[in-house]
């Protein structure tokens, strides 16, 4: 991954009518980039409008002929931009998302001018949709998640929301391939059935485009599991390529039943690493199987095969350095959590493209995958607890992912090493 | 990387007037996919037309009203398709490219029908261009590389080629976002200033699209060098993270001068790995520097730090297995050449996007990068000779890459181990 500096600063300006998935896309981009350590933040203009007091506006508020409404909405956009500019400076931000409708050319020109004056590259991202079923599904979802409709009766909210969309339609000027040909933009037509890309040049722009092209919104689940308890786990050693312990094998035998209870007859694919303990854990599952080298455990370099006690004895400074910054600490001749994330990126991209997937892999790798879906801050991700013999079910939804943990009820050692803790020679 | 089967079979059908870079794009896609071990092949209809006897056709041959010409060109297209279908079956092909103009809807429908009848997914890739300078540059390039103009005087060839384009223009029907909305297609407008993507769904389609979006045609160079001779090189050990030997340091000191002689005042960026010997080699260079973990040497796992002699003694079967299939052989707990290629893919993608780059890395990694640019067959790539203290200059051009080797004239050990050879305990 290149290192990004002030010269790479970018603002993704969302464009589109209400209920076109703009906030969903914004959140996903922020999630993806933050996970890759690119400082990113979303600025939602509706949020600023509510801060200014317009909490439960009726559709009429959004009428282009409503001067007071217009003025308030302009002020909200101004405040969002001000905060954004401050964030770029104060927090050394790299990618901001301006989550608003930005439906008129005049508004878009105003935003782009402000950004360019501050040496921030504007990139427009329009979500255009005429699939009425999809729009209605979004409206139904939004009326229950948007603070604008908190406490409002369902039917009333939906009716008002549809009326609000009509107000915007009156003045909506979509991005146009000829008129806007000098701008950097992406147009998504009906999710990503058709995508139009104009003047995408920088690395970050191209990464964002490829990422959103791979998103889909079909309902699906992702199941995560560590391999069953291994011989090395029992011996308190890290790394290696050992076989399952008898209890680990018991977990492997029980796994098909646990997965079936959670997944029913869903058609799923199992992904495993190239290490024997994941293959042994997956051996009784009836699903199609794919092996990824990128799912191998974090490489502990010279410490591979050692216990934490031995590491502490032999490399006391490293042991401490790892506790101080576990995300950045790279084992001598091995990897850091940051390194694991870089090699996991194609796995995440493919996960976004796929439907039901069951991943059987290793503690550090699962922490990184879990952090991506559950929005765990970078510095916390190496400390997430992912116990052995536990199946985690992830359900990606419009606003975040829901996680459920299913315990197999088969005992296993704990491999969790608390921050600042040391290990006794004989853990008994 | 997923494994591809018969259900992933895809044909990229090129569309566009002559001199729009169709063959360039076709070759690049084949190169990229083959490097990633996806069986791919390009079928050029012009080649079949020449095989049928029409070797130096005049522009009039391509007139849509020339019935004989039309019939011959249809026959050539049929033969190309027949060969392609045979290749899919006989060689378990996954991605074929049909390199031809395919300028009419009727022709495109005919091709798509044939493919679908054989369970091959058609994907159209149109290169559309109205940049007259660019077209003229392509025409000039083509008249000197196309067999159609072998032995023909320059001016005559250019004149005839432009007349040929005019013949195609008469009947050209570009892909259309409304009319063709049911098809899977990509339209590149003026290289990739604007890109329109329609119904791209499969993994392979999406990889191909992202790849071609990242290609550029600006002139540039890539320089490759191994680190200077290291202590481990001298001790005949593989892997590790040792410092440079005195001669290695001498190479590092001389490198700025050698690069300058080759690059002049070009603005370049140096890419190094995370191992100390590449950093030490780059330390006297005046250019911007970027560190990639993905450029680290092939991980020799349990053999890291051993000499070939020791490996041969301790793991004789592995030693032999590696000689028998060096590309696939994975060191215990380490990597194979195939693994290295998977982790190098983002490096190659970024190399395609960049202009002048100097890469200082390791023997196995350079073999993989070299194989990508120089079209080295997979099984040969682990055997390419990349000596120490030698700068390699790559010049990517429309039809292949030109490589020049510049020796630094500083002695170094040879680290090349011939196929089937063994190593004596004391190499002196």
pLDDT bracket for residue A417 (50, 70, 90): confident
Q: What is the pTM of this model?
A: 0.88
Q: Which residue of A has its CA nearest to B353?
A: A203
**CA of B210, closest CA in chain A: separation in Å?**
7
* Domain range annotation of chain A: 10-214, 222-407
Pairwise CB contact (< 8 Å): A333 & B193: no
Pairwise CB contact (< 8 Å): B206 & A213: yes
Which token pair is B32?
A: 């990229």
Rounded to an integer, the average pLDDT of B129-152 is 89
Its CATH architecture, for the domain B222-407, is 3-Layer(aba) Sandwich (3.40)
- Asked if B86 is an active-site residue, the reply is no
| DSSP labels, A236-285 | TB-SS-PPBPHHHHHHHHHHHHHHHHHHTT---EEEE-SSHHHHHHHTT-
Rounded to an integer, the average pLDDT of B312-338 is 91
Which residues in chain B are closer than 8 Å to A3, comparing Cβ atoms?
290
Q: How far is CA B15 from the centre of its chain?
A: 21
Which residues in chain B are closer than 8 Å to A213, comparing Cβ atoms?
197, 200, 206, 209-210
Pairwise CB contact (< 8 Å): B194 & A198: yes
pLDDT bracket for residue B428 (50, 70, 90): very low
Instruction: Give yes or no for B200 touching A (CB within 8 A).
Output: yes
Pairwise CB contact (< 8 Å): A333 & B304: yes
Which residues in chain B are closer than 8 Å to A181, comparing Cβ atoms?
194
Each residue's pLDDT tens digit, B227-285:
999 999 999 999 999 999 999 999 999 999 999 999 999 989 999 999 999 999 999 99
Of A241, A330, A353, the CB nearest to B203: A353
Among A94-103, B96-105, B190-199, name the one with the lowest average pLDDT.
B190-199
**CA of B236, closest CA in chain A: separation in Å?**
19
Chain A with chain B: Cβ pairs closer than 8 A = 82
Which residues in chain B are closer than 8 Å to A199, comparing Cβ atoms?
193-194
Share of chain B above pLDDT 90, in %: 82
Domain A10-214: assigned CATH number: 3.40.50.300
What phi and psi values does residue A133 have, to the nearest 5 degrees? -60, -45
Q: Examine the pLDDT at B395 and tell me if it is beyond 80.
A: yes
Catalytically annotated residue among B63, B148, B297, B299? B297
Which token pair is B218?
A: 């600006």
Active site amino acids of A: 99, 227, 297
Measured distance CA(A14)–CA(A12) in Å, rounded: 6
Compute the Cα dihedral for B130, B133, B134, B139 and give only its sign.
Answer: positive
Given this model, what pLDDT does residue A6 score? 84
Instruction: Give yes or no for A299 touching B (CB within 8 A).
Output: yes
- Asked if B350 is an active-site residue, the reply is no
Catalytically annotated residue among B126, B180, B205, B227? B227
Instruction: Give yes or no for A210 touching B (CB within 8 A).
Output: yes
**CA of B29, closest CA in chain A: separation in Å?**
17
Q: What value of ipTM does the predicted structure carry? A: 0.82
pLDDT bracket for residue A428 (50, 70, 90): very low
Measured distance CA(B422)–CA(B258) in Å, rounded: 35
Residue A171 contacts residue A104 (beta carbons within 8 Å): yes
Pairwise CB contact (< 8 Å): A203 & B350: yes
Rounded to an integer, the average pLDDT of A408-421 is 89
Given this model, what pLDDT does residue A401 score? 92
Pairwise CB contact (< 8 Å): A213 & B195: no
Would the CATH topology of B10-214 be identical to that of B222-407? yes
Rounded to an integer, the average pLDDT of B295-321 is 92
Given this model, what pLDDT does residue B407 score? 96
Rounded to an integer, the average pLDDT of B398-419 is 91
Tell me how far apart the terminal alpha carbons of chain A are, to the nearest angstrom. Answer: 43
């Amino acid at each position: 991954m290149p290192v990004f500096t002030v010269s790479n600063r970018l603002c993704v300006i969302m464009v589109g009518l209400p209920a076109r998935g703009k906030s969903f896309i914004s959140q996903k981009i922020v999630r993806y980039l933050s996970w890759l350590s690119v400082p990113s933040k979303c600025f939602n203009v509706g949020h600023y409008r509510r801060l200014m007091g317009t909490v439960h506006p009726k559709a009429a508020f959004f009428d282009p002929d409503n001067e007071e409404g217009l003025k308030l909405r302009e002020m909200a956009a101004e405040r969002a931009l001000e905060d954004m500019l401050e964030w770029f400076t104060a927090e050394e931000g790299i990618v901001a998302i301006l989550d608003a409708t930005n439906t008129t050319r005049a508004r878009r020109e105003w935003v782009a001018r402000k950004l360019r004056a501050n040496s921030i590259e504007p990139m427009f991202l329009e979500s255009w949709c005429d699939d009425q079923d999809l729009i209605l599904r979004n409206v139904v979802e939004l009326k229950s998640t948007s603070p604008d409709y908190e406490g409002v009766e369902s039917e009333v909210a939906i009716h008002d929301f549809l009326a609000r969309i009509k107000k915007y339609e009156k003045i909506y000027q979509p991005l146009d391939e000829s008129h806007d040909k000098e701008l950097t933009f992406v147009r998504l037509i009906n999710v990503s059935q058709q995508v139009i890309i104009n003047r995408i040049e920088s690395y970050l722009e191209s990464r964002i485009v490829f990422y959103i092209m791979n998103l889909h919104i079909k309902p699906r689940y992702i199941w995560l599991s560590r391999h069953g308890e291994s011989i090395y786990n029992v011996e308190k050693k890290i790394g290696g390529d050992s076989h399952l312990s008898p209890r680990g094998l018991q977990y492997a035998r029980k796994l098909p039943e646990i997965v079936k209870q959670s997944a029913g007859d869903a058609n799923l694919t199992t992904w495993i690493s190239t290490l024997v303990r994941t293959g042994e854990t997956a051996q009784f599952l009836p699903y199609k199987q794919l092996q990824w080298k990128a799912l191998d455990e974090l490489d502990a370099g010279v410490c591979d095969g050692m216990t934490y006690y031995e590491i502490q004895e032999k490399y006391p400074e490293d042991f401490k350095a790892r506790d101080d910054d576990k995300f950045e600490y790279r084992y001598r001749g091995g990897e850091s959590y940051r390194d694991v994330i870089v090699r996991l990126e194609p796995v995440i991209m493919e996960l976004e493209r796929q439907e039901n997937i069951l991943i059987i892999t290793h503690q550090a790798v699962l922490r990184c995958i879990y952090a991506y879906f559950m929005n765990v801050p970078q510095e916390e991700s190496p400390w997430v607890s992912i116990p052995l013999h536990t199946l985690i079910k992830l359900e990606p939804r419009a606003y975040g992912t829901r996680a459920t943990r299913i315990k197999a009820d088969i005992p296993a050692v704990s491999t969790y090493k608390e921050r600042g803790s040391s290990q006794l020679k004989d853990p008994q």
